[in-house]
A and B are shown apart, each in its own frame.
Chain A
């Protein structure tokens, strides 16, 4: 089985966010990049599927220099090959353009399965896997908690509000992961050493055949302005003996905040 895993390099979730001077992005000064948390489940699932069915795994990341460490991290966990999609044209892509570049990198690769996180931390869009499936004209399912692959079919369980859905489909497919699918392994020292020696293939817009087709004028949506959320109102700690505090809280929620 040939599996591709799409992995995004994102600012560490602990990062304190500041807005850049032009207000169109966050300020990346001093930001540490990590593998987007849901993508770790996708990497782990690829490794498990390979262990079970044998096969070949490739990790793909679109972005700038920050992708290199993230790709090496995937290799260190045991992924066989890494591809970096990198081009000045790929700066600030919207989700549709991102999916178009990923689709170009995947379509002739002979893959049976593409695994993604269901949502990349930061942009928090939850869009790329479904767009990618459409552009490849493949089956898909998203936010899976369980996955079994047998021959050319898959069975998955996906989470919806208050219920789980069992989904059955055929390969090739794009599948996105939800927390609970597996417990990601962390790279061991041997893996890290081996990953250092592996080569990361780099492909640009021309090599991918998307020159002029994504980014720039092709963007259909862009960020006009970024801002910090309004401060939450100054909170207040209630004082007094516990019975009085609880009474006052309920009364405030009722008559001041109007939420009870």
Chain B
């Protein structure tokens, strides 16, 4: 039988499915063209999540559930996914482009001598082949890829693909046995980062501050806007390097790549390396006191003014809007 359908690796954390994985599963449904979609869950005590996964419409949910999979290890997750591929024989394997996927999906691809295309932002249908489109050179250009192998791995950028409706119910659930005897490196502890209330790479709205906020004592000004919007806080490298905030908040070429619906650049000049991380945001708002700041060329809306004056006003205006709706 020739390879057909799509296998989707579905990630979960603290008993919850990752939104980015649901996006990948939803996109697989849209791309399957009537062929089979299989979801793969890997972990310990994760059977309960299979029904939730089933709602997004896969034909089948494979569950690799064992104590040995309770914490993440590259090799066990590689093994589980490789076993699933052998069983399902798909044309494509999808996953969300997360820290976990970056760690092990290319390893599975290498094991199966298959190509991997990562951080994909769009999929062009090309008969029954798919041509992934992805940003390169930090988003300064895009590449359209042609896959010439019978099996290919594709990781999808979070926040770009729409979540489908959760009204499916017909998925069959099946156990997948995985041998986990060869694990030479594994996660022994997970420490939640301090400070981050909402994870940057998954946030729908981001409020980011740069050197224009004047000093670390002014983060609460931006944090209040974040709270009013349900947004995540971000930062430019200049303020990370200055020690005003931890690197986990940095957006840009040497920080995180984000694609929120709405991005506020507050006192950020708009250097090319900053744009690298956020230029795929749907709507960009710039607040900068310099009318000639490069950021205004990329912003959908701009206000020329002092961040410390504008942001508090914005916070109260957003609160008013929410009260009225």
Contacts and interface: CB of A to CB of B under 8 A. Distances in A.
Interface of A: 11, 13-17, 19, 26, 37-38, 94-96, 99, 118, 121-135, 138-143, 154, 158-170, 173, 179-180, 219-229, 232-233, 235-238, 242-243, 245-247, 249-250, 252-254, 257, 259-260
Contacts of B201: 161
Most chain A CB inside 10 Å of its own CB: which residue of B98, B134, B313: B313
A26 B309 CA distance: 43
Given A249-B303, A250-B317, A123 B188 contact: no
Given A135-B110, A257-B300, A124 B284 contact: no
A221 B304 CA distance: 46
A253 B283 contact: yes
A252 B302 CA distance: 11
Interface residues of B, number: 93
Nearest to A25: B143
Contacts of A11: 137
B125 to A, nearest CB: 14
Given A253-B283, A259-B282, A245 B303 contact: yes
A3 to B, nearest CB: 17
B75 A13 contact: no
Contacts of B199: 161-162
B215 to A, nearest CB: 22
Contacts of A227: 141-142, 144
A159 B99 contact: yes
Interface string B170-192: 00000000000000111111111
B104 A259 contact: no
Nearest to A164: B191
Nearest to A97: B115
Given A165-B189, A235-B299, A133 B107 contact: yes
Contacts of A26: 137, 141
Given A126-B102, A179-B247, A247 B317 contact: yes
Contacts of B262: 253, 257, 259-260
23 contacts: A13-B138, A37-B253, A96-B109, A121-B138, A122-B137, A127-B116, A130-B102, A130-B106, A141-B74, A160-B99, A164-B190, A167-B185, A168-B188, A169-B185, A222-B148, A223-B143, A223-B144, A229-B135, A237-B303, A243-B313, A247-B317, A257-B300, A257-B301
Interface stretch (B39-47, B58-66, B83-91, B290-298): B290-298
A118 B119 CA distance: 14
Given A139-B184, A222-B146, A223-B143, A229 B116 contact: no
A226 B148 contact: no
A217 B100 CA distance: 31
Contacts of A249: 285, 301, 303, 314, 317
Nearest to A37: B254
Contact of B115 (A161, A220, A237): A220
Contacts of B301: 235-238, 249, 252-253, 257
A111 to B, nearest CB: 15
Interface in B213-272: 229, 247-248, 250, 253-255, 261-262, 272
A1 B250 CA distance: 34
A242 B310 contact: yes
Nearest to A224: B146
